[in-house]
Each structure stands twice: as structure tokens, then as C-alpha cells.
């Protein structure tokens, strides 16, 4: 199949570094090596598919694209973004040109699948309809977030054009069906790649910088979307806790902040810890985030909030341990820090489990079957 990703480019400096490091004669990556799309790209190519990408957030008239560091404070950039989102894409000259460039690219590439990633604020329903009419492609919409919380009118207007929506959280998939999508499947867009997601051997300097009993790597703002995550970490402030985030950290957790960590840095941080706490965002009530599979693959003990997805994809007490409330979280944290052999036994089983059942290659095989039957 010929697959055209329509995605936002985040962390462009990571992508540029990966392109610069690509050996002569090899095809450079399309996505930053810290992004899930990179592993999808890799797995799709291994299966023989032809893959390309259109970056919908690149300004039509040039300008440098930089990584965003999210903050709860109102900044000029945040205000400008909020204002831009209130202008319908059809009336934004920059967005209109981006839509036309996507149409031109689709005409040249002739995709069998047009793969839209979530949080689209640029590509219009009329553009998707025109591409479908001209190329006969299927539109796949892949998203890890709730349309109730995050989607904007431009996404909701397009829902009826989505032949398949793939979601991490089952409840999100139901919401997309209600908006008109033809089919949905709760197949996590995230998984592990054994060549990348594995325990890392650390230098003495890395161990000094990263070692802690409990490591958290991820996003903590805005607090209205991550309040449960913030409260979980606040409940562990009297433990040996380390917090890594490329975005702003709430004041209550700043004493534990140790900087940002993406890609291999993130896996090295987890490799240095005895355990990690994986609390889903407030908008994921079914569960199934990226860290669920990555933490298991890297070989770190994982304490996750008790959600339906953890019971669906893992076995309580064998490949994962979950908590019910903050007291339960503290009790289990103390118990597993004090019982190394039990902790390591679960770690080993979890790693074997995700390597056997949750790799990106297996996700691609599942997706091929889904698309074939719609």
C-alpha cells in the first residue's frame, strides 16, 4: 500500500539530528525518533508499504518551526495560537495554501491510505473529500485523545469522511462513531519496538544524573487535563522521586524536576529507576497510553492507575500492578521498593509480554486486516 501521513511535526530539532545521522545510501526518517509515528513508519516499511508524509503545521510561507514548551502562563505565542484557532481554516490564507499543497501532494503520491493523526486544526473536510474523490483512498484517523475534550470544528466536520478511526481509549472511539466515523477500533497506536525499547546500559555519569527510586517522564500541564497525574506524584513527594518533562512542571513538583527527556534519554531515565508511576491523563478513562507499553519494554517496574485498558492488555500482579487511590499507591510503592525479587519478577514478565503481543509490527498486521475489511 501507498500510505501518506498527514501529521504535525513536533520536536523538529530531533528529526534534523536523525536525518543528519543517517548513513549514506539509507533513507532518512520522516518523523523524530522520539515519536510513535517513527515506529509506525519503520514497521510499515518492513511490511513492504511505501510511506511519505505531509507536515500540516509547517507554515506555507516559510518561517522556522520550533519545539513548543507548554506552560500554564499566558504568553504572546500562546495568545497568538488561541486567536488563530478561532479563525475557520477556510478563511486563513496560510491554512488554505497548506490545504492546496496537500491536495497537490496526494495527486502526485496517489495514496491508498491517507493517515491523519489527531489534533488536526488545519486540514478541512472539503480537502479530504476532494482527495478521496480523486485518488479513491481510505482515510484513517489515528488519535490518542478525546473528541469531547480536544477536537475542534474542523475535525468534527471531517468525521464522516473517516473510513476508520483507531484509538488508544475505547471510549474515544465511541465518541468518534457518534460524530459519524464509519468504523473504529480500539487498537493502541502505541506499542514497543524491541530494537529501541529495551533496558539501557548507563555510564557512571548517567547513573549519577538519572538514578532515583521512582521516575516520572511526561507531561503535567495544563493541570485541568493532568490533575490525576499531578496528585499521584504529589502523594509520593516523601519518596525518592525524579520528574522529567520537556514542558513546565507545576510548582508543587518543581523540587523534583530534573529537566526534559525524549527518545533514548527517556528510556535511559527509566532504565536508571526502580519503578515508574504511569497515571493517565484526565481525558483517558479507559486507558492505553504510550508509556504503558514503553515502560514494560524498557524493564522498569510500573505502577499504573486502575483502568479497563490495563486489565485488557496486562495481567494484574503478573505483568503490571495498579493502584486504586493515593493511599493504595503509597502502600504499593513502599511494598515493591522493599521487595526487589517480586518487583523484578513482574518486570521480566511484563517485558516478555509486550515483546510477544504489543510490537509495532503486530499493530501494522492488525491495521492491514482492519483496512482490508472496510
**Region for 288 from its dihedrals, namely left if φ exceeds 0, alpha if ψ lies in -120 to 50, beta otherwise:** left
For 153, the enclosing helix (H) or strand (E) is helix 153-158
CB 168 within 8 A of CB 175: no
pLDDT tens digits, the chain, 374 residues: what are they? 999 999 999 888 889 999 999 999 999 999 998 889 999 999 999 999 999 999 999 998 876 666 555 566 666 655 666 666 677 888 899 999 999 999 999 999 999 999 999 999 999 999 999 999 999 999 999 998 899 988 889 999 999 999 999 999 999 999 999 999 999 999 988 999 999 999 999 999 999 999 999 999 999 999 899 999 999 999 999 999 999 999 999 999 999 999 999 889 999 999 999 999 999 999 999 999 999 999 999 999 999 999 999 999 999 999 999 999 999 999 999 999 999 999 999 999 999 999 999 999 999 999 999 999 98
pLDDT for 8: 93
What is the CB neighbour count within 10 angstroms for residue 243? 21
- CA–CA dist 5, 14 (Å, integer): 18
For the chain, domains (ranges, CATH) are: 2-191+360-372 (3.40.50.2000), 204-357 (3.40.50.2000)
**Region for 201 from its dihedrals, namely left if φ exceeds 0, alpha if ψ lies in -120 to 50, beta otherwise:** beta
pLDDT for 64: 67
Closest alpha carbon to 257 in 282, 277, 228, 237: 237
pLDDT for 79: 63
- CA–CA dist 318, 316 (Å, integer): 6
Phi/psi at 241 (5° precision): -110, 135
Sign, Cα dihedral of 347, 236, 74, 281? positive
- CA–CA dist 170, 286 (Å, integer): 6
pLDDT for 75: 64
Amino acid at each position: 500500500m501507498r500510505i501518506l501521513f498527514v501529521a504535525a511535526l513536533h520536536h523538529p530539532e530531533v528529526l534534523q539530528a536523525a536525518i543528519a545521522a543517517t548513513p549514506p545510501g539509507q533513507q532518512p526518517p520522516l518523523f523524530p525518533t522520539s515519536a510513535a509515528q517513527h515506529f509506525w513508519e519503520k514497521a510499515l516499511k518492513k511490511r513492504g508499504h511505501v510511506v511519505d508524509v505531509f507536515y500540516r503545521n509547517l507554515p506555507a510561507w516559510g518561517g522556522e518551526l520550533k519545539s513548543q514548551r507548554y506552560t500554564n502562563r499566558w504568553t504572546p505565542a500562546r495568545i497568538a495560537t488561541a486567536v488563530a484557532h478561532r479563525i475557520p481554516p477556510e478563511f486563513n490564507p496560510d491554512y488554505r495554501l497548506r490545504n492546496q499543497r496537500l491536495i497537490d501532494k496526494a495527486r502526485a503520491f496517489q495514496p491508498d491510505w491517507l493517515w491523519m493523526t489527531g489534533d488536526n486544526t488545519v486540514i478541512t473536510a472539503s480537502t479530504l473529500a476532494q482527495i478521496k474523490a480523486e485518488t479513491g483512498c481510505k482515510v484513517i484517523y489515528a488519535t490518542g485523545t478525546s473528541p469531547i475534550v480536544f477536537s475542534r470544528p474542523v475535525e468534527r466536520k471531517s468525521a464522516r469522511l473517516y473510513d476508520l478511526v483507531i484509538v488508544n481509549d475505547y471510549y474515544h472511539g465511541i465518541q468518534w462513531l457518534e460524530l459519524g466515523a464509519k468504523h473504529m477500533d480500539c487498537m493502541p497506536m502505541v506499542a514497543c519496538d524491541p530494537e529501541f525499547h529495551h533496558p539501557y546500559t548507563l555510564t557512571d555519569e548517567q547513573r549519577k544524573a538519572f538514578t532515583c527510586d521512582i521516575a516520572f517522564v511526561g507531561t503535567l500541564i495544563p493541570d485541568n487535563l493532568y490533575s490525576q497525574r499531578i496528585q499521584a506524584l504529589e502523594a509520593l513527594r516523601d519518596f525518592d522521586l525524579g520528574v522529567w518533562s520537556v514542558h513546565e512542571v507545576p510548582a508543587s513538583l518543581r523540587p523534583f524536576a530534573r529537566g526534559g527527556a525524549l527518545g533514548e534519554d527517556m528510556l535511559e531515565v527509566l532504565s536508571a529507576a526502580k519503578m515508574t508511576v504511569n497515571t493517565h491523563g484526565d481525558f483517558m478513562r479507559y486507558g492505553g497510553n504510550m508509556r504503558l507499553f514503553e515502560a514494560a519494554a524498557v524493564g522498569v517496574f510500573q505502577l499504573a492507575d486502575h483502568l479497563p485498558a490495563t486489565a485488557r492488555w496486562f495481567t494484574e500482579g503478573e505483568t503490571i500492578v495498579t493502584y486504586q487511590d493515593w493511599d493504595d499507591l503509597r502502600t504499593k510503592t513502599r511494598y515493591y521498593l522493599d521487595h526487589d525479587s517480586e518487583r523484578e519478577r513482574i518486570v521480566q514478565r511484563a517485558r516478555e509480554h509486550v515483546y510477544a503481543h504489543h510490537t509495532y509490527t503486530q499493530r501494522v498486521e492488525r491495521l492491514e486486516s482492519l483496512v482490508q475489511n472496510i
